Amino acid sequence: MKAFLLAVVAVCLISNGVAQGAVSGEKIYLKKCKRCHKLTDQTLVGPGLAGVTERRTVEWLDKWLLNPKDMIKSGDPIAMELKKKYKGKMPRIRKMKAPENRKAIIEFLKANDSKH
């Protein structure tokens, strides 16, 4: 019985640690995006992000977050329009190389869109 209880406690502690280690889209937004983007439709340096997950597909957002410059080079019409409208360049953010980080920020933006 004692061994069983220890195993249950160990599983709980490990799963709690995994949950705490999960990537937070909100943290990424606050560290990497907030300087240029608001969560409303208001423009700062770049466009406001309210509704972005309703205007763009997850696949498009994933590619854009991974490498905006490549999207512009490829002639993507939305990327070209953004470049023309907002003179500043969307930087390539090293943290976005990790798929789990891109997924986390997209999920955070989806949650934000559901509030508006």
Determine how many CB atoms are found less than 10 A away from the CB of residue 39: 19
pLDDT band, very low/low/confident/very high, at 16 (cuts 50, 70, 90): very low
Instruction: Tell me the pLDDT tens digit for each residue of 55-87.
Output: 999 999 999 999 999 999 999 999 999 999 998
pTM for this structure?
Answer: 0.78
Determine the Cα angle at 29 with ends 26 and 32, to 5°.
145
* Least reliable range by pLDDT among 26-30, 45-49, 72-76, 88-92: 88-92
20 vs 111 pLDDT, higher one: 111
Fold classification of 30-115 (topology level)? Cytochrome Bc1 Complex; Chain D, domain 2 (1.10.760)
Which residues touch 19 (CB under 8 Å, ≥6 apart)? Answer: none
- The residue-averaged pLDDT of 22-32 equals 92
Instruction: Tell me the pLDDT tens digit for each residue of 34-51.
Output: 999 999 999 999 999 999
User: Looking at residue 2, what is its pLDDT?
Assistant: 47
pLDDT band, very low/low/confident/very high, at 22 (cuts 50, 70, 90): low
Residue 93's nearest CA partner among 73, 113, 64 is: 64
